Amino acid sequence: MRDEAKEHSELLLAIQDLGYESLRYSIFNDHRPREWETRIDYNPELELYEVYSTMDRASTGSIFKFKTFEEAKEKFTHNLKLTVFINKTSVENGESPEYSSPLWDKIEADIENMKCIVEQEIKKRHFESLHYVLCDETKNLPWAFHLYQKNGKFYVDGRDERSYVMGNTIEFTSFEEAKIAFLERLEHCVKSNQFKVKIGKKTYYSSPLWDDENTD
């Protein structure tokens, strides 16, 4: 026979062990469905556990049914981990998370701080007119250099006229290394286009850094 109180306590303990108290979840229908929740219920008619997630407007995704509590618990915690992964990835890619949580809000704050640091370096060099994208891997901007974070690492690459990656994407374990490499590529871009102007070749795009033929 089920001991719902024991199962409820076991699930709460698992959430606490993972540090997921700030996530949205429901255990055995302890409140009505809300947006972006991970839920575990028990269906007494079918004698099955049901695990599922809600989306915007509390709409329901796929419902997974299990005969045993252990199986349902494993799926429930897996969905919670997936929620953290999805929202961390969204924040790292410059997208909005499903809701606010300290599990990914700090990442968002860190990213904004890193963007500010790089923007300051760009302004010091008067590179504002260059094509570049910070912390948004998917943004389409022709001939842009990208600096972004994903899964705890930093990446730098250049894009072509269709925003496809040119050459290799370089991976870095530290923000400082990635920042230096990114700024070096911007500097090379300026020198390369200035040289093209001097020898009469067409540049990738217009910029006051090389449109003036007297730029040295």
Q: Where are the domains of the chain?
A: 4-92, 102-198
In 69-179, beta strands by DSSP E: 132-134, 145-150, 153-159, 165-172
Measured distance CA(9)–CA(181) in Å, rounded:
50
Q: Which residues pair with 146 in a beta bridge?
A: 133, 157
- Indicate the helix (H) or strand (E) that contains 42: strand 38-43
The pLDDT value recorded for residue 151 is 77
pLDDT (average), residues 97-103: 91
The pLDDT value recorded for residue 90 is 85
pLDDT band at 96 (very low <50, low <70, confident <90, very high): confident
C-beta of residue 142 within 8 angstroms of C-beta of residue 160: yes
Cα torsion angle, 55, 59, 64, 68, sign: positive
Residue-wise pLDDT for 115-166, tens only, equals 999 999 999 999 999 999 998 888 999 999 999 988 778 999 999 999 999 9
Measured CA distances, 61 to 42, 70, 105 (Å): 17, 21, 25
pLDDT band at 213 (very low <50, low <70, confident <90, very high): low
Residue with tokens 């303990």: 13
Measured distance CA(140)–CA(146) in Å, rounded:
10
pTM: 0.59
